Amino acid sequence: HNRASPSAFLWYLKCMFFLFFFVVQDLGVRIPRPLGNGPSRFIPEKEILQISKVDARTQSIFEDAFAALGRLDNISLVMGFHPQYLGSFLRTQHYLLQMDGPLSLHYRHYIGIMAAARHQCSYLVNLHVNDFLQVGGDPKWLNGLDEAPQKLQQLGELNKILAHRPWLLTKEHIECLLKAEEHSWSLAELIHAVVLLTHYHSLASFTFGCGITPEIHCDGGHTFRPPSLSQYCVCDIANGNGHANHHDDPLGNQMCGEVEVLMERMKQLQECRDDEEASQEEMATRFEREKTESMLVATAEDEECVPSRDISRHFEDPSYGYKDFSRRGEHVPTFRVQDYSWEDHGFSLVNRLYPDVGQMLDEKFQMAYNLTYNTMATHKDVDTSMLRRAIWNYIHCMFGIRYDDYDYGEINQLLDRSFKIYIKTMVCSPEKTTKRMYESFWRQFQHSEKVHVNLLLMEARMQAELLYALRAITRYMT
């Protein structure tokens, strides 16, 4: 038999929805309808929906996720551009939230709420408020952090420092949590809490960076107002033309050569690497210069984002953030990976105190870092490792983390100002990320490539926070 094309079927469904909506409305029934166009404000719905149709692995992962959770959230739909990574991400998140571990289930979701609230990420907060109540959490705790147990309240300082200035974390902070008499944490519990905090800080970055919208059943995801047909026809809605695609922006024509310019710079840098090698002193100077410059990159439009009471009640000291630190010109100390690294130190500490999680995190970091399709926009057979490394190391550089064997002079060659502003905002103040910022970098690249960038930013940020937390725990233990 002949099957209808997906677009024709979608058009038919949406026509039927409009008919159904107006008929039922006449009967006085209020029907919610989605506020947004699909899972992301930045990426056309039809591109996201197309993923699972063309990739059987993505379809299978979606089915498994739905079977395990009873839902398929919009974060997973957008991550579906990269099924290999999505599988690793969902396995890790499922283990952290559902499987055997030091912390009770309701504590895990409450810590997720605390971490997401730090960046005013109402999407993740609402998701975990529902999960917290489903696993038997006390509704009173949701009135504010001061209503939660003292043990969770004491985690507030760690949450605040890790989210905004992890380099300030010391073994004394760890000692306060581990030696708090009847409210003290065990080492295993603290490792679990640290992994959850860093997971949700970085996931908030991804959520804002990809413009994730709430699902229809969530707060902010629906409206009861009837749809308006005056602005566009049903055919437009069915074809995903309700909003513009930045790839069709006429300004993009001015940027036609950006991919070729970037590829040429990568080629030249590779040739320079082969011809000469900078001295250790010069490499150190270049790192310090890049670190200082990264402090001065403005985030977004630098506007104030005042958290609503609904969000700010889940954490303390709302004014504490990345911005006021950088404006005062404070110095970020250098953290040498040669002295304390994830591979040689952090990985084994996590695995020892929270078995299997170190392995899962390591696989997820490696997946994001090494993921490649050997393409750049329309170009094939391209080695993108230099670019991926520049992005990862730039994020770590913003946190003061230095790799002795990396030439930080490459970063300015490969990452332009608009891209740096996007990275800085998404990693340090993700709640300020705008659609205009998303569209202003890499204008000629595919949405799937920009989602890949967001995965890199998310994982590099998580690893940076983890390094500081695990180093502080190691110092306390020794």
3-state secondary structure of 40: strand
C-alpha–C-alpha distance, residues 209 and 451, integer Å = 9
Alpha-helix runs per DSSP H in 373-446: 385-398, 409-414, 417-428, 435-440
Active site residue 121: yes
C-alpha–C-alpha distance, residues 419 and 164, integer Å = 21
C-alpha–C-alpha distance, residues 416 and 436, integer Å = 16
CA distance to 172, 184, 374, per residue, from 476 (Å):
8, 15, 44
Of the residues 15, 121, 218, 256, which is catalytic?
A: 121
DSSP state letters, 178-218: HT-GGGPPPHHHHHHHHHHHHHHHHHHHHHHHTTB---TTS
Contact 178, 184 (CB under 8 A): yes
Cβ contacts of 180-187, under 8 Å, gap ≥ 24: 180/150, 180/151, 180/154, 183/149, 183/150, 183/151, 183/154, 184/151, 185/151, 185/154, 186/102, 187/353, 187/473, 187/477
> Tokens for 241?
């033309």
Residue-wise burial string across 364-379, b where 16 or more C-beta atoms lie within 10 A, e elsewhere: bbebbbebeeeebbee
Contact 53, 10 (CB under 8 A): no
Contact 177, 185 (CB under 8 A): yes
3-state secondary structure of 449: helix
Which DSSP letter does residue 141 get? G
DSSP state letters, 92-123: HHHHHHHSS-SS-HHHHHHHHHHHHHHTT-HH
**Which residues are designated catalytic?**
121
